[in-house]
Homo-oligomer: A and B are copies of this chain.
Amino acid sequence: MRRTINIGLVGYGFMGRAHSTAYRQVCPFFRPGLKPVMKAICGRNEAAVRQAADSLGWQTYETSWEQLVNREDIDLIDICTPGGSHRDIAVAAAEAGKHVFCEKPLANSLGEAKEMLAAVEAAGVKHMVNFNYRRVPAVQLAKQLIDEGAIGEIRHWRAVYLQDWIVDPQFPLVWRLRREEAGSGALGDIGAHIVDLARFLVGEITDVVGMSATFIKERPLPIDMMGLTAAAGAQRGKVTVDDGAAFLAHFDKGAIGTFEATRFATGRKNYQRFEINGSRGSLVFNLERMNELQFYSLDDAPHFQGFRTVLVTESVHPYVSAWWPPGHGLGYEHTFTHAVADLLNALAKDRMPQPDFAEGVRVQAVLEAVEESWAQKKWVQVKE
């Protein structure tokens, strides 16, 4: 008989829906060691959170996260709110002895992230930050190939994360465009993902030099600030985060890297692409074609070397045997189901899930170094 774990989720927006799907889908496909019980969802607007509980499948709801983290019937707090509230919720949850699963970026600053890490470590609870793109089967396959030595010694990392949802100057000033809530713009939101993947696949980043830009300085205030689809009102406010950012980096083992994150790449919707060049081969991934991985190998005969497009949908590929036959691709939300499966299996075995808050802290340190570098117009060491 499988044991259960009671989940309390904070936030019912985009991320709340994605996490809810993961809890619903994880058992039929993965049969994890712990079965999640969707105990309670939490949000400030009672009408909205009640409706979310009903449509997303949560047994109860709360309108105050303080109340949620202190409920005795909750074992794990899942944080799906904007970054500005991560620290307070996570620290309180840890102090209440709950495990904590937190959306990325871990926090809005390196200082906050470190406080969170200290809190979970002091409390001795388990903790995980949800860099969900590590859980794309193609990304796991990339990791596997690197670990097998298939591309040799890594020379180059080259990543972009391109979106275009704020190209229109009339797009309103939603919370993601305000520093006090989001902490950072494209850099912290989507740049954080490629920093995490770089660390996961290549290694530690030692020093950086970067720049950022805000192309549209003022935008209409939103009428409804709930989500990305908010309507624009007549009043205007100041954009206080970056629209795009780029940086150069060195890795600890000698590779060099380039990174770019922007919300102004017209036509790019969720174009997270990385290319890794090694001494024996190369790998390329593009999230807009997330079921594919490209792989070039110098071990092939010279007359037929070329970038293979591996359709990462075979039962030999990571996570795939739980799903469908070859060629029947997965989508965005599956990354969350994979994350939750891994989380639950780690908890079932009393192991620390990965990436944990220490990993989240290191990502934050890189982002902060990039911002400092741009402020000082020079290369900056990433803090330990």
Contacts and interface: CB of A to CB of B under 8 A. Distances in A.
A56 to B, nearest CB: 5
A277 B265 contact: yes
A172 interface: no
A319 interface: no
Contacts of A250: 211
Contacts of A288: 291, 311, 327, 329
A327 B269 contact: yes
A81 interface: no
A55 interface: yes
A20 B28 contact: yes
A348 interface: no
A148 to B, nearest CB: 9
Nearest to A326: B269
Q: How many copies does the complex hold?
A: 4
Interface in A135-183: 141, 144-145, 150-151, 155-156, 158, 160, 162-165, 167
Contacts of A269: 311, 313-314, 325-328
Interface in A304-345: 304-311, 313-317, 323-334
17 contacts: A20-B28, A145-B303, A156-B264, A209-B248, A211-B250, A228-B325, A244-B256, A266-B279, A266-B296, A267-B282, A267-B296, A271-B327, A288-B311, A297-B304, A304-B310, A306-B308, A308-B309
Interface of A: 14, 17-18, 20-21, 24-25, 27-28, 31, 55-57, 141, 144-145, 150-151, 155-156, 158, 160, 162-165, 167, 209-211, 213, 215, 228-229, 244, 246-248, 250, 254, 256, 258, 260, 262, 264-271, 275, 277-282, 287-291, 293-298, 300, 302-311, 313-317, 323-334, 377-379
Given A21-B25, A248-B248, A269-B326, 6 more contacts: A155-B264, A229-B315, A266-B278, A266-B279, A324-B332, A328-B331
